[in-house]
A and B are shown apart, each in its own frame.
Chain A
Amino acid sequence: MKKTSILGTSAIIAVAGVALADGHMSSDMILVSWGGAYQASQQNAYVEPYIAQNEGVTAVWDESSSEAVAKLRAMNEAGNVTWDVVDVVAADAIRLCDEGLALEIDHDEILAPGDDGSSASDDFGDLIVSDCFVPQIVYSTTFGYRDDLVGDTPPSSVCDVFDLAAYPGMRSLERNPIANLEWALICDGVDIADVYDVLETEEGQDQAFAKLDTIKDNVIWWSAGADTPQLLADGEVVMGSTYNGRLFSLIEEQDQPVSMLWDWQMFDLDGWIIPAGLSPEREARALDFLRFATDTQRLADQAKYISYGPARASSAPLVSTHADLGIEMAPHMPTDPANAQNTFLFNYEWWADYRDDLDAKFQAWLAQ
């Protein structure tokens, strides 16, 4: 009896396993993104409407954007590309395009024209930083501070981050030279127009690191976008840098006593690429999705869920109110004129040349 029961149990388990293993996996369109509120905004603004319009198409999310370059390299090596559409930051898109891992596209042919009649390439303008890249949003890396920990005069300039006398306490900065070196030089009296010229020289780099040295003992270094909001909520840091959408969620959705400091925010772009080497049917499906997901209305819709600026100029007038909170979203956009008095754009070309060098220098400096 025992024998039959054991064999029976194994058989049931095996049959159940076969039955449960979904057979229709390959028909799913695999979308790669960052997870969290950002992925939710994409899901609400264009993935759900797209699936509703296209019978038989299903989408599965893979939250792997942060290791997209490494994974796409491995997939290419193994000859088994499982992703269909991948959300990456512009710098990664440029790398993937250079390595031939992303599909080069003709933006005017593939993408919808703007609602105002402009061609796609005019509508996106300078934001098309690579032939493989379809921009979605403009976001920025900027600072938030705890209202109750900064005294009577809240910080008004990014240089207040370097002012330990006026604002004692810990700060959080990204574990990465990008933006930190620019801010250090700006606050050391270098004009924004000269920052990259100065950073190209050995003395300029030393000058930036020397400025960072003045606050090094008071810095907690972050690597995930969620770290600074957590540290601010805990009161572990007085001020810290992170993505503006994270700060919006912390302030407006989570109701924490935190305010934004938009001074010298660094703009960056995020968008889609299609991996190279897909079968023709999958490639056609991915392109069809991209055309829908990046049209004027869809990009404007995304701003209902997250405070990132739509990449199309024609979407800006259509930005409305937050889906749950009902507040106007335009004043929370990094591109809003009131917020964008002092800004700079992530300098992709310059960092592509100097990244390896400065990364090594930065890590060595951190370890000192």
Chain B
Amino acid sequence: MNVQLTAADRAAQGDNLIPFAMPITGLLGAVLGVLLGQLVGLNLVFGIIVGTVLGAGVAFVLCRYLDYVPGRWAAIGGLALLGLIFGGIAGLVAGAVFGAVLGWCAYWLHSGRYRAGVPPYATPGQVLWHNAFLLICGLILFFLIAPILTIIPLSFNAQDFFTFTPKMLAFDPDGYSLKHYRDFFTNDEWTVPLWNSLKIAPVATAISVTLGTLAAIGLSQSHVPARRAIMAILISPMIVPLIISAAGMYFFYSRIGLQGTYWGVVLAHAALGIPFVIITVTATLVGFDRSLTRAAANMGANPVTTFFRVQMPLILPGVVSGGLFAFITSFDEVVVVLFVGSAGQQTLPWQMFTGLREQISPTILAAATVLISISIVLLVTLEFLRRRSERLRGLSPG
């Protein structure tokens, strides 16, 4: 279906879709009006009425008089101007977002693109369900991501509270500050735990990856007796509630003098990481062709050479993703370290946990933002490397 209808085309069609587009866009306007009204403390009824009028008005003007591109810009510009008059710079931004959403919705309904994802013979009920389904999916993603997205602007708060201050909402530069980041990177209260986490996680990961990979390879051999029982024991730290493992480790490590030491925390985290490595490596080994190791042996390679030269490169994706899980387990872990560690091994999650309980400081948000950035960079890099290696080995096209 041609979506770029000109105004003249639409006039020829008799604009029979305007009565359809107007009320629905109005409804969307009402919902947005309520949301915005809640944010700035407006009357509920007032928000609904203004939102409905704006939505219906935008739909009518755009669909009747304007083409797609100028229409979208006109909606954005017009509502931004309206916002600027009533709400300053914050109003400008809110108005522009309103205009973009309402303009898109009006054209989407009016041009019939809402049927684009369903076959032409679908009944109105099926079309409605299809779009409702997309809306539900969108809402689920929104609920997953919204709490994470709100903390990012809050971490630039100039005040010491988890609050969007009026200055922040007005986009006043005075309302924003980098002081929580400065605090995070200069205050001992945060740098010491950050450094502790960076000392503990890589070593715990190295131990988990080494032991976990060895265990997975051993357990994939058919001649090992009691494989299932051993597997169950090895992955038990993942199944037993963490607090039980932590309490058990606390008493055991205290007896043997590991409680409150660096190696105690490393070993505890390694034990938690091993199951992840075993599971991912076992999964990759399923697709591994054993005749390759026999071929290598046939050519005179000893088992260690065979492992590093033949098997390891092929199961590397499993090893790396297991290692990544082990790293994140150690880096995010708070329960076990509270038991097994002492003040000298205070990790970043520990500091965030106690900090959140005793004083609600936005430095925690700055720390969280930094950690989120690191995770994103880590995952993107990993995905990039994985694709590159697949491409080099000709496993995937492109």
Query: Which residues of A line the B interface, CB within 8 A?
Result: 2-3, 6, 10, 13-14, 16-17, 20-22, 25, 28, 30, 32, 34-37, 60-64, 66, 74-75, 77-80, 82, 224-227, 229-230, 233-234, 254
Contacts and interface: CB of A to CB of B under 8 A. Distances in A.
A133 to B, nearest CB: 22
A10 B250 contact: no
Contacts of A16: 203
B293 to A, nearest CB: 15
Contact of B259 (A22, A66, A77, A78): A78
B343 A3 contact: no
Given A20-B199, A62-B342, A78-B259, A234 B161 contact: yes
A2 B358 contact: no
Contacts of A74: 250-251
A61 B343 contact: yes
B210 interface: yes
Nearest to A3: B308
Contact of B344 (A28, A226, A234): A28
A31 B358 CA distance: 16
B261 interface: yes
Contacts of A35: 354-355, 358-359
Interface in B346-364: 346, 354-355, 357-361
Contacts of A22: 262, 344
A22 to B, nearest CB: 7
B260 interface: yes
B342 A30 contact: yes
Given A60-B344, A77-B251, A25 B261 contact: yes
Contact of A17 (B162, B203, B354): B203
B260 A82 contact: yes
B163 interface: yes
A350 B346 CA distance: 38
Q: How large is the interface on B (under 10, 10 to 19, 20 to 34, 35 or more residues)?
A: 35 or more
B263 A80 contact: no
Given A78-B255, A233-B161, A25 B344 contact: yes
Contacts, number: 106
A367 B354 CA distance: 27
**Which of A13, A20, A30 has the largest count of B CB atoms less than 10 A from its CB?**
A20
A85 to B, nearest CB: 12
A57 to B, nearest CB: 15
Given A35-B358, A36-B361, 15 more contacts: A3-B304, A17-B202, A20-B262, A21-B262, A62-B343, A62-B346, A74-B250, A78-B251, A82-B260, A226-B357, A226-B360, A227-B360, A230-B360, A234-B163, A254-B161
A3 B162 CA distance: 50
A254 B359 contact: no
Interface of B: 159-163, 199, 202-203, 206, 210, 250-251, 254-255, 259-263, 266, 304-305, 308-309, 312-313, 342-344, 346, 354-355, 357-361
Nearest to A39: B358
A212 to B, nearest CB: 25
Identify whether the interface residues of B are mostly helix, strand, loop, or mixed. Answer: helix
Given A80-B259, A234-B161, A10 B210 contact: yes
A60 B261 CA distance: 14
A246 B395 CA distance: 61
Nearest to B160: A254
Contacts of B199: 17, 20-21
A225 B304 CA distance: 58
Contacts of B255: 78-79
Nearest to B41: A235
27 contacts: A2-B313, A17-B203, A17-B266, A20-B262, A21-B262, A21-B263, A25-B261, A36-B359, A36-B361, A60-B344, A61-B343, A63-B354, A66-B357, A74-B250, A75-B254, A78-B251, A78-B255, A78-B259, A80-B260, A82-B259, A224-B358, A225-B359, A226-B359, A226-B360, A230-B162, A234-B163, A254-B161
A13 B202 contact: yes
**Which of B262, B304, B343 has the largest count of A CB atoms less than 10 A from its CB?**
B343
Contacts of A64: 354
Contacts of B309: 2-3
Nearest to A5: B308
Contacts of A3: 304-305, 308-309
A82 B345 CA distance: 13
Nearest to A28: B344
A226 B358 contact: yes
Contacts of B343: 28, 30, 32, 60-62, 82
A38 B135 CA distance: 49
Closest 10 CB pairs of A and B: A78-B254, A62-B343, A21-B262, A36-B359, A17-B203, A80-B254, A3-B308, A35-B358, A233-B161, A63-B354
A62 B359 CA distance: 15
A79 B260 CA distance: 13
Contacts of B260: 25, 80, 82
B159 A233 contact: yes
A316 to B, nearest CB: 27
Contacts of B342: 25, 30, 62, 82
Contacts of B161: 229-230, 233-234, 254
A14 B344 CA distance: 20
A61 B159 CA distance: 26
Nearest to B345: A25
Given A3-B308, A3-B309, A36-B358, A79 B254 contact: yes
